[in-house]
Structure 1
Amino acid sequence: MDLSTTIADLKTWLSFAGGWTAEHVLTLATLWQALVIAVTFFAARLLARPLRAWAKNRPGQANGAAERTLEVMVLLITPAIWLVLQLVLYQIARGLDLHRYGLRISMTLLAAWLLIRLLTAPVRNPAMARLVAVVAWTVAALDILGILDQTMILLEQAAIPMGKDKVLSLRSVLIAVLAVVVFVWIALITTQFVEQRLSRAHSFTPSARLLLAKIAKFTLIAIAIIVGLGSAGLDLTIFAFFGGALAVAVGFGLQKVTSNLFSGFILLLDRSIKPGDVVELQGTYGWVNKLATRYTSVITRDGTEYLIPNEDMITQPVVNWSHSNRLVRQHVKIRVSYDSDINLARSLCIDSAKETERVLDTPSPLCMLLDFEESAVILELRFWIEDPQNGITNVQSDVRLKIWDKFQASGIRFPFSQHDLHIVTRGRRTRENDEGTQA
């Protein structure tokens, strides 16, 4: 359809809307009805306040869909009272044989809104519930006002050519958008159901469950988009150009995003990084909280959550403390004075490790004599833990504190660096030599 025809249809629609407005809106009868509608609105708000407060403070509210329905009903108390007040005034105007077209339209629109909001109240997603309610009420309002057919014709005529014998109308676009939103919403609900079923499937590993859930999510969303566009009557071949442009954008501008996406799938497939693993990457130490599409969430011991791109988890060196098992050996070096009993010191170090709560008995702790330095004998205590996600420095600190207490009680001393300074008084000797030379 060419542009001149579209402009002509728009002028026809505007002419119709102008005539309807002049006939039904710009009149004295409509003015007093608008005043009545405004007064009843403010009266409804005043009357609704105590009722809403009473409804919100009611104990023992139900859960799930019933609770959401009750919340919507609390929000609809004001419109409901407003509708009742208008109905009373409508009956009075009818008895007085007054013009009441505006009141009837207002009451019909308000009743349609109340009904639609009640029907969409059980929907779990509040945004989706409001969207469905707004769309349904808009269509109902256009039908009530008698301009639905003209609006549909205008939207159909507002089209742009997309090739030979192909056009893309505004009506088709709106229907396609609504259809895609609804089908994607259904796909997300289905995905949640699939994830719940997979979480109970203990025959799969956590990585396999996460991978299957992501594949199911992407597949269902892609199917929902295709079905939504097809159900709207759109010829999908008209989007070939946009598909090519998207491919170019991915090739040039979205390389990192694509790399992170596929890196995430690789991590899930090879199971090198799994939720719950304790990892260390570029100075960041923590446990993997979540493997997302673009990033890996790592939470440190201080509660900081790092979002590390999946590409870095593939290309950078990563220390996985719990890849094959959660056993981690710790090393604590101790400096002991030369005049101390070394064998007793080794025994006390092993006892300190055994008395620490998180240290494992098997493999048993060992204390090795590493080296003889200038001012100290170097011992190294080695012990194992199986919960690195609970921290490493803290367990080392607990062992060191017990070693300190035992060494103090047993008289074993920790050496400290000592340096001897020898000061040579060269100034006096120089003066004596000078006096001998003069003599």
Structure 2
Amino acid sequence: MNETPLLNLITDFVDDFRQPAILWQALVIVACLALSWLLVRQLRVFLHQRAEAAATPATPETLQRTDSFIRILTPVLAAMLLGIAQHFLAKFQSVNLLSIAIPLCTSMALVRFGFYVLRRIFARHGDISPTMLLLEKIFTVVVWAGMALYITGLWPELHTFLESIVVPLGRNKVSVAAILQAAISVAVLLVLAMWAGTSLDERLMKMQGLHTSLRVVLSRMGRAVLILVSVLVSLSLVGIDLTVLSVFGGAFGVALGFGLQKIAANFVSGFIILLDRSLTIGDMITVGQFTGKVTQINTRYTVLLGGDGVESIVPNEMLISGGVQNMSLSNRMVWLSTAVSVGYETDLDVIFPLLEEATAKVPRVSQSNPPSATLVRFGADGLDVQIGFWIADPENGTGGVKSNVNRAIWRTLQEHKVTVPFPQRELRIVGTPPAPLASAADGESAPSGTQP
């Protein structure tokens, strides 16, 4: 009867449980786990104290990354300590229990590292979606299944079985094992490339010496290059001849010419916007019927945040081919105005300086460009006066500052007893009263005892 690896594993465990060696292995495992936990705990305290003592306070994202690193380091350190203990203890007794504990700790470290990478890519701001949870579950099942096959020794048999199953692809036949290996290689390299792109993006965004648009361009290009390199490397590892990509490139060019013109135009327009710096994140712009602050400049579209909190997605081609009103391109100063009517008896030489002084005291009103009051027209009910002023932060909206200016003007007019005229109309009835009214009046004047 041929003994299988799983049967050998069970036999070795039964033999170990009959000997005192199992106790020494259990004590070594507990000691290594406790030592790794204590070392990692001290490291965590040290890193948090260092972050608190830094000149720049640590962000919640930084603290979260530190905790994730600590969670990965715990099983890694435990596996290293167990490996060292196994090396020395194997000279005196069997170490079958340690041979299982080390892959378990390694698998735990791999699972936690996978969670860290996936969340860094797809949940950078802490929002974990159901799709993200599904990916984590699939990754966990794959890792633990591989660990179980490795420990039981069934992996070579499974690999041989998958090699025996072939799938016809044209004139060639490819085994299922090769297909799975190719899929795993491509997925792993793509995830690592996206992780590197995310890290590059965060590093570039922290470089205040570079212009915002240049940082975004470098980030987008760096991420695209990393993904392209990962795809080419994965195809080479699988064994696909890269010369076939020329055929694919020709087909892609035809598809681009017919059906993907808008997408390509938006993609190119996004890089043009970032390179010529006509728009940057934080600018207050108006394009077509959309007005708002630029919050994102992506490769295909730009996001505008309106004053009412509504986000508008504007295609980049629209920003290139059409006219755009940028309130903060070279000069962030924006002129605003409000109007009020005063009575004809008002002394304008006295009230104008008062209105300008009251407007200048309103927060957000520019002091370098003082407000000005002007007489616009002689209205039907009063003198129409306009008060103009400048603000330097149009991205914060204009409704609030206009309201504050109007309130300051109203208080000034009330304090100085200035009348604000409003339309007054008199209604005159010309001619004799109608007949029904005259009959009613005659009936009221008749004696009360008179009968009709």
> Does TM-score exceed 0.5, indicating one fold?
yes
Partner of residue 153, structure 1: 160
Partner of residue 321, structure 1: 327
SS of equivalent to 1:215: helix
Partner of residue 311, structure 1: 317
Partner of residue 366, structure 1: 372
1:182 aligns with 2:173: no
Partner of residue 353, structure 2: 347
The one-letter amino acid of 2:236's match is G
- 2:148 is aligned, of 141, 160, 164, to 141
Q: Distance in 2 between matches of 1:346 and 1:22?
A: 96
Q: Distance in 1 between matches of 2:355 and 2:397?
A: 21
Partner of residue 213, structure 1: 219
Q: Displacement, 1:227?
A: 0.9
Contact 1:297 1:305 in 2 (8 A): yes
SS of equivalent to 1:369: strand
Q: Distance in 2 between matches of 1:326 and 1:305?
A: 22
Partner of residue 337, structure 1: 343
1:378 aligns with 2:369: no
Contact 1:280 1:320 in 2 (8 A): yes
Stretches of structure 1 lacking an aligned partner (at least 5 in a row): 1-15, 34-51, 81-103, 432-439
Q: What TM-score does the superposition give when structure 2 sets the normalisation length?
A: 0.66
Q: Distance in 1 between matches of 2:317 and 2:173?
A: 42
Q: 1:244 to 1:175 in 2, by over 3 A?
A: farther
SS of equivalent to 1:125: helix
C-alpha deviations, 1:355-399, integer Å up to 9, x for none?
Answer: 223222332322121111211211111111111122212111111
1:192 aligns with 2:207: no
The range that moved more, 393-402 or 121-130, is 121-130
SS of equivalent to 1:267: helix
Contact 2:369 2:390 in 1 (8 A): yes
Q: Distance in 1 between matches of 2:204 and 2:283?
A: 23
Q: 1:232 to 1:221 in 2, by over 3 A?
A: same
Partner of residue 286, structure 1: 292
The range that moved more, 59-68 or 193-202, is 59-68
Q: 1:132 to 1:413 in 2, by over 3 A?
A: same
Q: Distance in 2 between matches of 1:242 and 1:172?
A: 22
Q: Displacement, 1:304?
A: 4.2
C-alpha deviations, 1:168-194, integer Å up to 9, x for none?
Answer: 443333223332333331463256237
Q: What TM-score does the superposition give when structure 1 sets the normalisation length?
A: 0.68
Partner of residue 68, structure 1: 68
Q: Displacement, 1:353?
A: 1.9
Q: 1:334 to 1:168 in 2, by over 3 A?
A: farther
Partner of residue 116, structure 2: 125
Q: Distance in 2 between matches of 1:421 and 1:309?
A: 57
Q: Displacement, 1:330?
A: 0.8
Q: Distance in 2 between matches of 1:383 and 1:287?
A: 21
The one-letter amino acid of 1:366's match is S
Partner of residue 5, structure 1: none
The one-letter amino acid of 2:109's match is L
Contact 1:109 1:141 in 2 (8 A): no
SS of equivalent to 1:381: strand
- 1:298 is aligned, of 301, 304, 307, to 304
Q: Distance in 2 between matches of 1:368 and 1:22?
A: 95
Partner of residue 126, structure 2: none
Partner of residue 405, structure 1: 411
Q: Distance in 2 between matches of 1:419 and 1:308?
A: 49
The range that moved more, 182-191 or 226-235, is 182-191
The one-letter amino acid of 2:240's match is L
Contact 1:336 1:379 in 2 (8 A): yes
The one-letter amino acid of 2:67's match is E
Partner of residue 423, structure 1: 429
- Aligned-residue Cα RMSD (Å) equals 5.1
Q: 1:194 to 1:346 in 2, by over 3 A?
A: closer
Identical aligned pairs, as a percentage?
29
Contact 2:75 2:105 in 1 (8 A): no
C-alpha deviations, 1:49-84, integer Å up to 9, x for none?
Answer: xxx9xx99xx948557773365468899xxx9xxxx
1:275 aligns with 2:275: no
Q: 1:123 to 1:137 in 2, by over 3 A?
A: closer
The range that moved more, 238-247 or 401-410, is 238-247
Partner of residue 9, structure 1: none
SS of equivalent to 2:330: coil
The range that moved more, 311-320 or 237-246, is 237-246
The one-letter amino acid of 1:280's match is T
Q: Displacement, 1:237?
A: 4.9
1:115 aligns with 2:106: yes
Q: 1:171 to 1:248 in 2, by over 3 A?
A: farther
The range that moved more, 325-334 or 184-193, is 184-193
Q: Distance in 2 between matches of 1:127 and 1:141?
A: 23
The one-letter amino acid of 2:427's match is L
Contact 1:116 1:133 in 2 (8 A): no
Contact 1:162 1:238 in 2 (8 A): no
1:227 aligns with 2:218: no
Q: How many residues align?
A: 383
The one-letter amino acid of 2:104's match is W
Q: 1:377 to 1:148 in 2, by over 3 A?
A: same
The one-letter amino acid of 1:232's match is V
